[in-house]
Amino acid sequence: MIAEILSTGEEIRCGAVVDTNAAHIARRLEEMGVAVRRHLCVGDGLDAISRALAEMGTRADLVVVTGGLGPTQDDRTAQAAAAAAGVACTMNTAALDAMEAFFNNRGRPMTDANRKQARLPQGADWLANPVGTAPGFRLTMGECRFYFLPGVPREMRRMLETAVLPDLEKRLGQPRSVGRTRTLVTFGLTESATGEQLDGFGSLFPDLGIGFQIRFPEILVRIHGRDGSADRLESRLDEAARWACDRLGERVVSLTGASMAEVVGGLLRGHGATLAMAESCTGGLMAHWLTEVPGSSDYFRFSGVVYANAAKTAVLGVPETILARFGAVSQETARTMAEGARRVAGTDWGLATTGIAGPGGGSAEKPVGTVCIGLAGPHGVDAFRHHFPFGDRDMNKRVFAVTALDRLRRSLLLR
Amino acid sequence: MIAEILSTGEEIRCGAVVDTNAAHIARRLEEMGVAVRRHLCVGDGLDAISRALAEMGTRADLVVVTGGLGPTQDDRTAQAAAAAAGVACTMNTAALDAMEAFFNNRGRPMTDANRKQARLPQGADWLANPVGTAPGFRLTMGECRFYFLPGVPREMRRMLETAVLPDLEKRLGQPRSVGRTRTLVTFGLTESATGEQLDGFGSLFPDLGIGFQIRFPEILVRIHGRDGSADRLESRLDEAARWACDRLGERVVSLTGASMAEVVGGLLRGHGATLAMAESCTGGLMAHWLTEVPGSSDYFRFSGVVYANAAKTAVLGVPETILARFGAVSQETARTMAEGARRVAGTDWGLATTGIAGPGGGSAEKPVGTVCIGLAGPHGVDAFRHHFPFGDRDMNKRVFAVTALDRLRRSLLLR
């Protein structure tokens, strides 16, 4: 079965926004054993969309379309689909009922613009959108089945799982080969150095594939395969993942795609331990990552985002003499910040960052990219100093935060 | 002039990697006044690429192609271009000389695989790659000019600036039309309600286009146009932006695409004022957003991420009696948190959030999605309570944080 993907929208066409939907859809289809041949992107013009649909219908068995299902005047995908199919748009009562229920549940009024969204091409099957108002739909033209989904990534992803993939599953039937991917999250090597550590993978596992992706500063290693037996494939992927872990050692953060913050949270929970932090250069990013994980209040108590020196002293009790003698960016300050956070919040662990994210603030002795990390625990306190060469504020904040969390992760692994 | 963009490569086709090249190229071309009509992505197969090139050549005046110029066996773009043009590949001496110089400079040996990269389609003009080994080239087929660039984003971007855009500039000559976009960041209405406020745009500004994008919880309104005179277009866009501002009022956060955090930071700087925060349910997200902006240390002093009640008391001095009587999620607690942050850090403003992001922790009286916001300033302290219906932890954190920053923004606007 050959699939194509169509992304619509002016913001994507003119490059204001990077299209992440196409990659997500391609990955999920490929995992199911559907070959994706092309992605195409056009703007929001009626002609541009309907022409693209007509072309794709002559080449593919399956097309997934995103975008242009919203309530505003630039949302023209339903009309374009109707034009391509040579039918009219009519009010779809199932879609309208679902939208009315959605608005009632939220106590919000439904507008005429919203009502317009329920007008679908004749012959289209409505697809429920559990997380938004834009209804999706399915439409067959000739030999090709089209699925129309909203462009908002969260809504698109949900509907792909609930409406598109189960429908495809039925259509594909059994038996057929399954595709699976194992995602190793790693930290501490560059992409090319990670690849070199895993040289020889191809000859040891000729039946599997391997790919690398930068989710800065983490490097994801994806091991993927396809087999008629899911059990056989899983055990083969286990074997390959074990081999990769042996080569990469402690640099492997998780075997499940879980992020550094999720892994650190899981370790704290496993130890029944609590954490407080003091963040200068990471500016709240570590706390934000930790509190993205549901249930994090079980182990995360406090982070003092102490941008000003006065706050370091007032909130964490960092002595002014330390700041004056060693400077705010120093291992000595990082150490007292970690101890202060731990003491103030009464936790088992205290983790602190102080550094220079840039673009300003660097010096010959402490250039942009310098970070000092303090880690206070049940058995004492340590401090570390690193320098990273990225010269970019956002990258520095991220690599500082992951490096600090990695120090805590490694300490928790030893216990 | 009509342009299309072709991205090649298995990692993009199968969705392992998100294609950021197409958006970058589209944005740069549009800025020069070239209308981008389509982006297409195919894998690395010879047929797939040459067929795509042949199709695009019949539709466009200009095509920018990325990927498949490397030294390995999956790099087939030069062959595919030769096949589409009906010519052979031959050794290009300019390309070969440049590669030899590149390797000599770095003291690395040049392999036969590298030498293969200098074989370009007959009639192609070599394009220098100042930052890598893969040579680019330019090839005209029929009425369409193709530019072939490497897929590595850093190399592609550099060559786009040094080799493609200057060449285009010459070809376009003067006068020609330019494309411009004005991005309004708004907060406070849904996408459909925003669209309804701007009903009538099309008849008032038939020469301009309008588009909407959700960057949750902000809604971006993009007004775009194209004109032979950049000055006339700018003043027309100004007029349209003013009209939109009149309709949307205080819900317009910026006219420049600047985020809520950037705007709040700019207002604080303009007032010479300083800020401290206390974040419970937003978990450091407000501090992270504020400190993403370079120079934020000029106005941002401290945020206490006080997840635990004990930390609210120890760090911010929230009385235990307030917590016991009204609960952690209450306007009374939010008020004392804001005052506490302001007092501890000695700032002009104190901003606090306490709420229930979910999935757990809700009750009938205080359901998931409830947030209380405290705002302490030079003229007193206020507290607000909101409820949002999203039922998603990540969305709740984001909408809580933007709502709190918006309270501060509106107060600063009044001064």
A19–B23 C-beta distance less than 8 A: yes
Best residue in B14, B189, B226, B281 to probe A by mutation, most A CBs within 10 Å? B14
List of chain A residues whose C-beta atoms are within 8 Å of the C-beta of residue B306: 302
User: Phi and psi (nearest 5°) for B391?
Assistant: 65, 30
At residue B211, the pLDDT reads 84
Considering the entire predicted model, what is its pTM?
A: 0.81
Q: Say which residue the tokens 């939010």 belong to.
A: B334
Report how far residue A265's alpha carbon sits from residue A283's, in angstroms, rounded to the nearest whole number: 19
Q: Where are the alpha helices (DSSP H) in A150-306?
A: 153-159, 165-172, 191-197, 201-204, 230-248, 260-271, 285-291
DSSP string, A41-91: EE-S-HHHHHHHHHHHHHH-SEEEEES--SSSTT--HHHHHHHHHT--EEE
In terms of phi and psi (left: phi > 0; alpha: psi -120 to 50; beta: otherwise), the region of A248 is alpha
List of chain B residues whose C-beta atoms are within 8 Å of the C-beta of residue A152: 214
DSSP string, B106-167: HT-PPPHHHHHTTEEETTPEEE--TTSSPPEEEEEETTEEEEEE-SSHHHHHHHIIIIIHHH
Q: Residues A361, B295: contact at Cβ < 8 Å?
A: no
* ipTM for the predicted complex: 0.81
At residue B16, the pLDDT reads 79
Domains defined for chain B, CATH in brackets: 2-172 (3.40.980.10), 178-254 (3.30.70.2860), 260-413 (3.90.950.20)
Confidence label for A148 from pLDDT (cuts 50, 70 and 90): very high
| SS3 call for A175 | coil
Going across the sheet that includes B349-355, the strands are A380-387, A370-377, A349-355, A275-279, A300-306, B300-306, B275-279, B349-355, B370-377, B380-387
* pLDDT tens digits, A168-217: 988 887 667 777 889 999 999 887 788 889 989 989 999 998 877 778 89
| SS3 call for A120 | strand
Q: What distance in Å separates residue A339's CA from the closest CA in chain B?
A: 15
pLDDT tens over chain B, length 415 residues: 899 999 999 889 988 788 999 999 998 998 788 999 999 999 989 999 999 999 999 999 999 999 999 887 778 999 999 999 999 999 999 999 999 998 888 777 788 878 889 999 999 999 999 888 889 999 999 999 999 999 988 889 999 999 999 999 888 876 677 888 899 999 999 888 999 999 999 999 999 988 888 888 999 998 988 888 889 999 999 999 999 999 999 999 999 999 999 999 999 999 999 999 999 999 999 999 999 999 999 999 999 999 999 999 999 999 999 999 999 999 999 999 999 999 999 999 999 999 999 999 999 999 999 999 999 999 999 999 999 988 889 999 999 999 999 999 999 999 8
At residue B404, the pLDDT reads 98
Report how far residue A28's alpha carbon sits from residue A180's, in angstroms, rounded to the nearest whole number: 10
Q: What distance in Å separates residue A86's CA from the closest CA in chain B?
A: 23
* Partner residue opposite A288 with nearest CB, options B36, B43, B284: B284
* Beta carbon pairs, A and B, within 8 Å: 276
The predicted model gives A35-55 an average pLDDT of: 96
Structure tokens at A237: 């992927």
